[in-house]
Each structure stands twice: as C-alpha cells, then as structure tokens.
Structure 1
Amino acid sequence: MTEQRHEDWDPRAASVKKDQIRAYDDMRERCPVAWSDYQQWTLFRHADVMAVLEDHDTFSNAVSAHLSVPNGMDPPEHTPYRKVIEPYFAPEPMARFEPICREIARGLVSQLAKGETVDVVDALSRPFALHIQCAFMGWPERLHEPLAEWVRKNHRATLARDRQAMAEVAQEFDGYIRDILDARRQAGDQAPDDVTTSLMREQVNGKPMTDEELVSLMRNWTVGELATISASVSILLNYLARHPALMADLKAAPELLPEAIDEILRMDAPLISNRRVTTREVEIGGRTIPAGEKITLLWASANRDEAEFGNPDSYCPHQNASKNLLYGAGIHVCPGAPLARMELQVFMEEFLKQIAAVDSTEGEQPERAMFPTGGFNHLPLIFHGGQTPGTF
C-alpha cells in the first residue's frame, strides 16, 4: 500500500527561484525525499542518489517515449552504443583536439574588453561552448550563428515552459544534423575525416546506426555540451571574481586547476538534475515509491550534502574528489567527462595567462539560470589584463 500523494514542496515557488541552491539545501534537511507534481519524486541526499545510480535494474534511464541514444537506454540495449561512444573520449583523441580547443579559448579571452563591464555569458561562456562543440564534431563555422540563435530560442522556450515551442526548437536542431548527414553522404569519399563522419561509419550489433539514432546521439552530445560547458565557464569565473586569493593561487600553480574546477562545480552545479523511472515498488529515505514513477536526481543538492562534504561551501578539492558526482557514477557515468575536463582546464589556463584580476560589478546584477540548467543567463564582470608576478 502506497502513501497518499501530497505536495511536499513547489520547485517553481518564488522562494526557490530566488536562490535554488539554498532552497535545495533547506529541502535536504527538511524533506530529503520529496514529491511534487512538477518533478515527481526528488532525491536531495547524496546517499539516496548513489543508491539509485548503483541499481540500474530498479531505476531505469528509459524515462522518455522519444529515442535517446545512449543515455535514455538500459542494458543490454545501452551497452553496445556505449562501447561505440567511449573511444571518442580516449586519451589519444583528447590530445589531438587539445590544441584546437586551446586556440579557441585563447582567441575568445584575448578579445575581452578590459576595465569595463562584460557579460560573461555572451562574450565567453556561450561562444566557447558553441565553438568547441562544432570544432569537435567537425561542423562548419557557418553553423555558429544559427546554432547560437537556436540556443537563445531553446532558452526562451524552456523558461516559458512552452511545450509546442520546445518541440519546434528540437525539430529545428534535428534538421541541422540531418542536413550535415546528407552533406557527408553526398561528399562520399571526400567527406571530412572527423567525428561526425566516423560516427556515420560505426556499427551497433553488426549494423550501421540509423539516421534516427545518429540524430539522437549527436543531439544529446551537442545540447548537453552547449548547456553544461557554458554554465561551467560562467560558474568558474563568478567564483574566481569572489575569491581572488584562489585565483592568485591558480595563476601561480596551474597544475591545481583540474581538482579546483571539479570542486567549484561541485558547490555550484552546471547540470542541476537527471531523471530515472522506477521499475518496481521501492523504499527510499522512508518513502514508498510505486513502480513507474519518475525520479529526479538532484545533483545540485547531493553534491552539497553535509553528511558527505561537511560545510557544502568549504573549498576542499582533495578531500571531496572521491565523492563528487559532477559527472555522475555507475554505468551511466558521463562518457564525455574527459572531453569536458580537458576543455574547461584549457579554457582556465588560457584565461589565467591573460587576465590578472576579475571584479564583480556593484550596480548591474547577475541573473541566475533556473532548473534544469545551472550557471547564469547574465553575468556582468570586469576583467583586468596583464600578467601578475609568478604567473605561468
């Protein structure tokens, strides 16, 4: 017998929108397994999220009626697609892509206006995410502006919760990918030797992937990359603006960047949540959840759980690394984590080489992104150029 359904919280309440991270901190203490019409069952605690990640039989990734390759699949269907994807993020392809990524980062940082207010989102985070994703996939530069406009339309539709607009935006994006696939096929042997062409040649279970599968895979890669990398850059620069001593430390010792980046993004999540669906009745945190129910795994809360991290805002990268769920865990751990880590490290290296200091603005206020996205929609900062003593 399941308990009577009632709203434990409202994820869209004004108090949550004002500061969603702090609202999640409060819910983790007050009601760590909570029901709402909007998110259904939300898990706030690290231990409960880990229990779900480690039990993919009970908690399925197949949460949508639409094809989602491979993150919306369960084993055994999931396994062959995952095997196809993972080599693209191996050390050798990462090393080949690193100089291209560095050139993009260096160029964007060098163009920053110094000594005046700059919107980080428009000037750095969104362009960086867009340019590196197109470069990684081998897509032409002429797609930069259409995709940038697509990002803006997708953002507006998501904020408005306009399902029709969201469907139209998704269809538009799929059209871009289908045009790319058609162009590669027409080019035949003259098609560029890049990730997109290589994926078109891959086989799953002895057969080439269908266009529907390729579109789904490339959509998931690209939409995820554009959102999370952009959010990550804005979060990192916002944190350094408020912690100048850490910025000085990282300029003096850039080898500390990998663990610093992961720790900052633990405290302030670029990706707020993922979903699962129960395959059977299960008890979590004293709540009975029936089969077929949607579960929201709230990374933005689990990665700040006092039971695991103590004060969630304490910067302790070495101490917290083994428990950090920035890229998930279990069989669905993010396959693109090596790419994301390399891109963010390269960006921060180039940023620290060229920028001596970052200041927040007193008058113009930042605008936070809202669920399901982290980071910022608008982040005004002031950059000061030049090297400081001891920098690399």
Structure 2
Amino acid sequence: MATDNRKPYQTDRPSPCPAQDWDPRSPQVQQNQIRAYDQMREECPVAHSDYLGWSLFRHQDVLQVLGDHETFSNLVSRHPSVPNGMDPPEHTLYRAMIEPYFAPERIDAFEPVFRQIARELVDYLGTNPSCDVIRDFAEPYAVRIQCGFLGWPQSLHAPLLRWIYRNRAATHARDTDAMATVALEFDGHIRSQLELRERAGNAASDDLSTCLLRQTVKGRRLKHSEIVSILRNWTVGELGTIAACVGIILHFLAGRLDTQTLLRRDRNQIPQVIDEILRLHGPLISNRRVATRQVKVGGRTLGAGERITVMWAAANRDGEIFAEADQFRPERDQSHNLLYGAGIHVCPGAQLARMQLNVVLDELLSGLGPFALHPGADPVRAIYPASGFSSLFLAPA
C-alpha cells in the first residue's frame, strides 16, 4: 500500500507537512478495500495521504472525532449541505427540523410500499437468474424505494439509474467537470419536482417533498436551495448506500447456505444478521471532517485546518472492540457498531434503512430458493469511494 519501497507507515515525522504514509488509490488497496484497511489499522492507524488527508482506522480514534464536533468540524465542503455539513448551533436547528420526517409512524407507513417493490424485483430475479444483481436488482430497488419515500414519480426511475452510472464514472475518473455536470443534473431533478408541487398549490400531492416546501425554520419557509440540499443528502446517500448494502448481503449469504437456512426458518434474526454482515463489510467506507485546532489523535499531531477521513469500514472491524472481529457472529452485541455513525451526526434515517433492508431480505428469502455465487462470473468489487460490489452474479445452490 505504500507509494514506494519504504514501509507503508512512519510515525516519527513532524506535522504539519507529513509525507504520504499510504496511497488510498493504489491497485493493492482497491483490489480489496476491507483487507487493505484492516492492514492499515494494525500497521499505521493514523495515516496521511495527499488524497484523503489524515485517515483514522481505529474505533477509538474514530469515536474521538465523532464525539468532539468543536474540534472536528463537518464544514468540509464548499457547497451548502443541510444538515450534514453543518456544526452547532445551525446543525442543531436543522437536525431538529428534519427528524420528524423519520419518525417511526411515518416510516412504518411505507413498509407496504417497499415490500411491493421488493416483491416485484424478486419476481424479476427469479425469472432472470443470469442477471447482474447489482445493476438489475440492488440499484433499481434503491431508486424505487427512494422515489416512493419522497413521492417522486415512476418516470424518474430510469433517469436516476442513468444518473447513478454517470456519477460513478465521473467520481472514479476524478473528472471535476463531469462531477459538476452530474451534480447539476441531479439538482435539476429535485427542482423540477418542487416546481410541479408549487404549481399545483393546495392540490399538490401530500408527500414528503411537498411537506418540505411547506416546512418552516426560524419562522420562515425553507429556501429552495435548502430543500435541494436536504433532498440531495437524503437521496444521493440512499441510492449508493442501500444498493451497496443489498449487494454485500447477497454476496455474503451466497457463501453461507447455513445462514440462509437459519433465516428461512427464523425471520426474526434478519435484523441482527444484517447488522453483523454490514459490520464485517461496511457499505459506507468513510466520512470527512476538518480539524479546527491542533490536536493529537492516536499519537500523531494534526494541525488546524487539516483534512480528516474517518474510516468506518476499518473501525467496525477493530479487534480491540469486537472479539474475533473478522468472524461472523450475529449474536454479538451491536451497540458499538458504527454502521449508522455516532454522535450528533448519527444517521437520522437509520430506522428507515434498517426497515428497507429487512424487507428486501425477507422477500428474497421468500421468493428465491437457496443461492450461491455464479461459478462462471467472479464478483467485481467496487472501488473507493464506493463499497460493496459493482457486479455480482448468483446461481441456484
């Protein structure tokens, strides 16, 4: 993982001008991100690179960052991000405003919608067993459930799927012009939905997007730019992460017929099994922060203004926190699992995501017989910043 023939880590250099400890984009890392991050956690748990700044791989170091928002700021982007890219007191205000949208009763009302979507896609999978389950199942599921949650029409399903592919290609190529273009394209989809509802006035559909148009904060209606930012955060993260989750779960179960059998007999174990699978292989690799002052993390000194990348996928496999961390133990205590984050920025949609994943796995187990990895098509792993798999084929077991 090192950028030359030196050891991949050094701890005796002064800040604030460290050399690279590792290259996050190297072929060795991208070949198997999870394995590479495990190695970094053991060899160089606080590591610098030009690409990611300071990367933190240990659970305790990640928790230090998540628990101290005054020292580790979320103001990491040039573009407004509501509320993810905010610090208190602004974050507190907007977070309180959005949390009711993820209230249990609101989420529960969508379960029949998500279940019908999952059932239709499982039926497709059953009649097209040779399809790529990422492109033809996981990604369509993510798009359709998100449109259902937001009240967006079926006519957006295909454009959003095309957007996913273009966004992924631009991100992997680090093509900033293309990334800006696809970002504007996505914002255009959101604005068109807002404009349709504004033109409809009182006749607008009573859905989440309409509710945001009528939402107030500080005694005023939300600006269009604020609504676009909120919906962008919810949707972009949801599309990529839910699709990655579904692929990771299917890949794992394809190699564990015993676990498939267990879950077919006892569906009550689905939530715990999913959390443990996604602890082992995180669907979200990392998140960003910036240091507001000089601070020590894991024995290294980080300067004010330096970029920080918390590596969820490594922290959740830390043997100091999880006994036999690389082993599948669904009975283990998940209270330290950082799948949905921690601290003031913990994911507000965690319960929604859990329900969406529970539903799709339940329907898969009902609609498909035992399955395994296709012997003639190796899974293709996703590369940073994505996780999971970019291609996955299954076959009857």
Q: Settle same-fold status: TM greater than 0.5.
A: yes
Query: Which of 92, 107, 114 is equivalent to 1:94?
Result: 107
Residues of 2 paired with 1:186 and 1:114: CA distance?
Answer: 42
Q: Which residue of 1 aligns with 2:179?
A: 166
Question: Once the two structures are superposed, what CA deviation does each residue of 1:3-37 show, in whole Å capped at 9, x if it has no partner?
Answer: 54111000011110111110101000110000000
Instruction: State whether structure 2 residue 65 is matched by structure 1 residue 52.
Output: yes
What is the SS of the residue equivalent to 1:321? Answer: coil
Tell whether 2:298 aligns with 1:285.
yes
Distance in structure 1 (CA, Å) of the matches to 2:287 and 2:164: 20
Partner of 1:231: 244
Does residue 258 of structure 2 align to residue 245 of structure 1? yes
SS at match of 1:377: strand
Q: What does residue 149 of structure 2 align with?
A: 136
* TM, length-normalised to structure 2: 0.95
Which one-letter code corresponds to 1:75 in the other structure? P
Q: Give the alignment of 1:1-392 within 5 angstroms.
A: 2=15, 4-113=17-126, 116-383=129-396
Cα deviation for residue 175 of structure 1 reads 0.7
CA gap 1:3/1:156 in 2 versus in 1, 3 angstroms: closer
Please report how far the alpha carbon of residue 113 of structure 1 lies from its aligned counterpart in structure 2 after TM superposition. Answer: 3.8
CA contact 1:327–1:333 (8 Å) conserved in 2: yes
Counterparts of 2:192 and 2:373, CA distance in 1: 42
Q: Secondary structure of the equivalent of 2:361?
A: helix
What SS class does the counterpart of residue 25 from structure 2 fall into? coil
Q: In structure 2, how many angstroms separate the alpha carbons of the residues matched to 1:211 and 1:318? A: 45
Amino acid at match of 1:6: A
Please tell me whether the aligned partners of residues 118 and 382 of structure 1 are also in contact (alpha carbons under 8 angstroms): no
Q: Quickly say closer, same or farther: Cα 1:115–1:76, change in 2 above 3 A.
A: closer
Q: Is the 8 A contact 1:235 1:270 kept in 2?
A: yes
Q: Deviations over 1:166-189 (max 9, x none)?
A: 010000000111111111100001
Q: Deviations over 1:242-268 (max 9, x none)?
A: 111011101101000111111100100
Q: Secondary structure in 1 aligned to 2:125?
A: coil
Residue in structure 1 matched with residue 10 of structure 2 by the alignment: none
Bigger shift: 110-119 or 247-256? 110-119
Provide the C-alpha distance between the structure 2 equivalents of 1:183 and 1:3, rounded to a whole number of angstroms: 51
Shift of 1:270: 0.6
Query: Is the 8 Å Cα contact of residues 53 and 307 (structure 2) preserved in structure 1?
Result: yes
Q: What amino acid sits opposite 2:23 in the alignment?
A: D
Contact 2:126 2:367 in 1 (8 A): no
How far did 1:286 drift? 0.8
Q: CA deviation at 1:118?
A: 2.5
Q: CA deviation at 1:365?
A: 1.3
Contact 1:269 1:300 in 2 (8 A): yes
Identity, % of aligned positions: 53
Q: Say which SS state the counterpart of residue 324 (structure 1) adopts.
A: coil
3-state SS in 2 of match to 1:117: coil
How far does the alpha carbon of each residue in 1:265-311 deviate from its partner, in whole angstroms, 9 at most, with x for none?
A: 01001110000011110000110000111100000100011111132
Deviation at 1:95, TM superposition (A): 1.3
Q: Is the 8 A contact 1:117 1:380 kept in 2?
A: yes
Amino acid at match of 2:270: L
Q: For structure 2, which runs of at least 5 residues remain unmatched after alignment?
A: 1-13
With normalisation by structure 1, the TM-score equals 0.96
Q: Is 1:263–1:320's contact at 8 Å kept on the other side of the alignment?
A: no
Following TM superposition, by how much is the alpha carbon of 1:238 offset from its aligned partner in structure 2, in angstroms? 0.5
Alignment check: 8 A CA contact 1:272 1:372 kept: yes
Counterpart CA distance in 1 for 2:319 and 2:259 is 23
- CA–CA separation in structure 1 for the residues paired with 2:165 and 2:91: 31
